[in-house]
Structure 1
């Protein structure tokens, strides 16, 4: 028996010698070091030509994986199986050792080869591939693995169930391949993106399915759901399966928060210190340290907070859904607090911050369990005040933040616990992220004559100068917000 570390004695003549492959690898490795030196046009061209090379390599990898699978078939006697010769249980096990690829990728290669490999009949007559148009484009380097899998996976759901006319499937396959490779109506048309190919293929599969989409839709509807997992490491895992329309709506909401242009914010000059009050220039970038998943989390928090505070939100016992956060009086200064329904300790400073929002209520106990302090509606900004502050600020007042007013919380600039009043001259709009990180994020806020002033962190402005913030809509119409309470 041959081990995986031993090479076979015979060298196949159809493949180049290993030294040639090594030379090609060395050439590619050398190019990696020179990518940053390429001019823009050359870099764009390289992305196309290297991808073309990669498609040929991928086609060969798929073909090799399929051939290994064919020679390791369970229909063969054990002693004739290729995998058995290398002490592996099956083709996937052998390929996992030789390629270091994941089992998932190996299975995808094998599946794609079965659909793009020509066969023979028992009498030796040639048989076309299951998807001949995909096979031709894939082996010619015109179609990548992702597109080939997308097309064949979607159409195989139709062909495997025999619910479509084979001629119609062939026509659909040829049409999508032409779209994916750019060969449309014999003209040199740019190929569509992979997302476009996926969408068009899905439409074709739906149109070809004579049974309709009801079986799949009913199956999906039964499996839909969202689950909150058990708390671990200070986090609660969220998992689930969304219906397409639900996922689409959520994605659009995320897009609105993450992909829209930054809301226009500038610093208005004041007569006392014109130099210190210069508007932010284009070179003064306010960097967002959050990753995209973190920004999605914070956007979701803003959406949930807005929904919980909405008048049209469902009620619990006649009251709006309110998160209750509890803490002992000794814990308020540097200790911990807890939220109902989630058994995870949080920093007590969270209890101070959330008391500004209408969807969260703070309760403070003594050691014996007696209620010492209860967050009451009087410390919350009214709907009229919120509308006025939203009109003045336009959204989160931190420069560069694009979260709109509808997703913001109102922050007491002078803390309510220290005598800060609940009126428009003491409230500003902050998104959940900046409200949550105000104590350690470096931003400072003051109010002067009902106008918010913001000082940037030292890494943005080493002088820590306070400059007034106004959104451009207010600056254009010159509508002041007076300091008297509403």
Structure 2
């Protein structure tokens, strides 16, 4: 076929050009590089327009009223999405997006089998000319389609479409910026539409959590705008560097350790830790429901040998995947945890909690002394910290039950977990916490004072 032959020739030529681009990228100036990027994007828009047009035709030929005579079913596919995915190799999500936009940009099928006028001519023309990207086109078509469903007059919808296309092209808006503009314009034209949309959002809200085969707890969620606002505001507040207790005054010794103690978490890891921290803080609040007189408690089973040696695993009730002994040790420092300790023959040696958690008064004293997480360059305030036993709670020189201020140190959840699993150590010197770096950081392993208290002078280092 002539079309496919021409496209094959264009593809060969394009591959050759792309090969030249790849080989010469390093020698391009900044301006030339950006020009090439824009030119490649123009090619991509032309290709995307063709993909949408073809998918739209597939959608029309596969419409449900055709039954088994439809294109997708006649090719032994249960849906046009599966047909497009099979032919192109793209994801089902991408196939669905192409089919949806292509279908919406086509005119309605008339009784005689002919096609009516294009419902969105401004978008149609801009896409064909390669001036409007498919992402922005999809946003405009979707929002204008919602206005049609809401009963807005055709001239109002046409004006909205033209406005969004013109603004996107003349102002050089990204697809995200076009989406925001489309929402504002929609609300101006249809102020009564917010209520039914909210009802739909309320019905679609969900949260599913389950343990996956790899041991991780995985899930997905869909939040209403109101719920999303609460989540985002809470996450941003807890991750903001402005939540600390005033400026940090770092000594020379602390500066030495900063390069090795930097927070290396990705943003998504920080988000997961922040939500966990929020839930943990809420679980310990006085207003939480109580079961048998206690707030939410994590129950962990571990053998006496594993507890004493710091090796092996613990098992959390309701979770199939075990946790390492280091995590159990971290939880025993601060969390409302009930540990069931088993002997060699499986007999229960101990169940429940002893007086190992620091009291609110002790935590206030630690907050006054430490000023927040004591880890170098960490700005988490006391309210976001957990209390760590400098001498381990099961150590020979720190028998169970001895939970004293001179043995407590404030650490945020991340650095508390890191300390239990790394070569760094925390010790107490004259009532002040000191961090001891591993030998690969400091061969002498000189203890570094870490308190943020600003009412003391320079620390004296013992020989």
TM-score when normalising by structure 1:
0.77
Q: Secondary structure of the residue that 2:41 maps to in structure 1? A: helix
Aligned residue for 1:18?
8
Deviation at 1:398, TM superposition (A): 2.5
Give distance in 1, aligned partners of 2:71 and 2:207.
45
Residue 434, structure 1, aligned to residue 423, structure 2: no
Higher helix content, 1 or 2: 2
The residue number in structure 2 matching 1:301 is: 276
Match of 2:251 in 1: 268
CA contact (8 A) 1:83 1:89 kept: yes
CA contact (8 A) 2:426 2:433 kept: yes
Secondary structure, counterpart of 2:151 in structure 1: coil
Q: d(CA) in 2 for partners of 1:322 and 1:83? A: 54
**Structure 1 CA distance for aligned equivalents of residues 210 and 155 of structure 2:** 48
1:150 to 134, 139, 152: 139
- Work out the CA distance in 1 between the residues paired with 2:60 and 2:381: 58
C-alpha distance in structure 2 between counterparts of 1:314 and 1:243, whole Å:
25
Give 1:335's aligned residue.
Answer: 312
The answer for the alignment partner of 1:31 in structure 2 is 21
Q: Which residue of 2 aligns with 1:484?
A: none
Mapping of residues 64-213 of structure 1, within 5 Å: 64-70=54-60, 92=81, 95-117=84-106, 128-159=117-148, 161-181=149-169, 183=170, 189=171, 191-209=172-190, 212-213=193-194
- Measured after TM superposition, the shift of residue 145 of structure 1 is 1.8
List aligned pairs for 1:318-397, cutoff 5 A.
318-332=293-307, 333=309, 334-366=311-343, 367=345, 369-372=347-350, 374-376=352-354, 378-397=355-374
Contact conserved, 1:227 with 1:239, CA < 8 A, in 2? Answer: yes
TM-superposition CA deviations, 1:257-305 (whole Å, max 9, x none): 5564897756424xxxxxxx262498x3645443433322222222222
Q: Secondary structure at the match of 2:255?
A: coil
TM-score scaled by length of structure 2: 0.81
Alpha carbons of 1:389 and 1:479: their partners in 2 closer, same or farther (altered >3 Å)? Answer: farther
Q: 1:358 to 1:266 in 2, by over 3 A?
A: same
Answer whether contact 2:257 2:437 (CA < 8 A) is retained.
no
Deviations, residues 426-450 of structure 1 (Å, cap 9, x unaligned): 2222222322232332322222223
Quickly say closer, same or farther: Cα 1:89–1:360, change in 2 above 3 A: closer
Per-residue CA deviation, residues 27-85 of structure 1 (Å, 9 max, x unaligned), is 12332354455555554554444333322221122123324445666778989x87799
User: How many Å apart are 1:317 and its aligned residue?
Assistant: 4.0
Q: Which residue of 2 aligns with 1:186?
A: none
Consecutive unaligned residues of structure 2, counting only runs of 5 or more, are: none
Check 1:36–1:118 CA distance in 2 against 1; reply closer, same or farther (3 A cut): farther
Task: Report the more deviating stretch, 444-453 or 385-394.
Answer: 385-394
Deviation at 1:226, TM superposition (A): 2.8
Partner of 2:432: 451
1:414 corresponds to which of 391, 398, 401: 391
Distance 1:37 1:400 in 2: 40
TM-superposed CA distance for 1:167, in Å, is 2.1
Corresponding position of 1:5: none
CA distance in 2, matches of 1:242, 1:402: 30
- Match of 1:445, SS? strand
How well do the aligned residues superpose, as a CA RMSD in angstroms? 3.8
Deviation at 1:361, TM superposition (A): 3.2
Partner SS, residue 212 of structure 1: helix
**How far, CA to CA, are the matches of 1:370 and 1:465 in structure 2?**
42
Which residue matches 1:6? none
